[in-house]
Amino acid sequence: MSIFVDERTNVVIQGISPTSQGLYHGLRNRAYGTRVVAGTNPKRGGEEIEGIPVFATVAEAVEATGANASFISVPPKFAADAIVEAAAAGVPFVVCITEGIPAQDEAVTYNRLVREFPGTRLLGPNCPGIISPGKCNIGITSGDIALAGGPVGIVSRSGTLTYQALHELSQQGVGQTSCVGIGGDPVPGTSFIDCLAAFEADPDTRAIMMIGEIGGSAEEEAAEFITGSVTKPVVSYVAGVTAPPGRKMGHAGAIISGSKGTAQAKMEALSAAGVTVALNPTEAGEAMVDVVRALG
Q: Are residues 180 and 262 in the same domain?
A: yes
Is residue 18 in some structural domain?
yes
Residues with a catalytic annotation lie at 251
Is residue 130 in some structural domain?
no
Res 3: pLDDT: 98
| Residue 27, domain extent | 10-123
Res 248: pLDDT: 55
Q: Are residues 172 and 57 in the same domain?
A: no
Res 102: pLDDT: 93
Res 1: pLDDT: 81
Res 182: pLDDT: 97
pTM for the model stands at 0.94
Q: Are residues 108 and 161 in the same domain?
A: no
Q: Are residues 146 and 291 in the same domain?
A: yes
Is residue 208 in some structural domain?
yes
Question: At 271, which CATH number?
Answer: 3.40.50.261
If one counts the domains in the chain, the total is 2
Res 66: pLDDT: 98
Q: Tell me which residue of 127, 131, 184 sits closest to 153, measured CA to CA.
A: 131
Task: Count CA atoms within 13 Å of residue 156 on its CB side.
Answer: 28
In this structure, which amino acid lies at residue 149?
Answer: G
The β-bridge partners of 238 are 212
Res 106: pLDDT: 95
Q: Per-residue pLDDT for the chain (296 aa), expressed as one digit of tens each?
A: 899 999 999 999 999 999 999 999 999 999 999 999 999 999 999 999 999 999 999 999 999 999 999 999 999 999 999 999 999 999 999 999 999 999 999 999 999 999 999 999 999 999 999 999 999 999 999 999 999 999 999 999 988 999 999 999 999 999 999 999 999 898 999 999 999 999 999 999 999 999 999 888 999 999 999 999 999 999 999 987 766 666 555 555 555 544 557 888 999 999 999 999 999 999 999 999 999 999 97
Domain boundary, last residue among 88, 123, 158 = 123
Q: Are residues 111 and 166 in the same domain?
A: no
Strands 234-239 and 207-213 come out as: parallel
Q: Are residues 111 and 158 in the same domain?
A: no
Res 262: pLDDT: 83
Res 216: pLDDT: 85
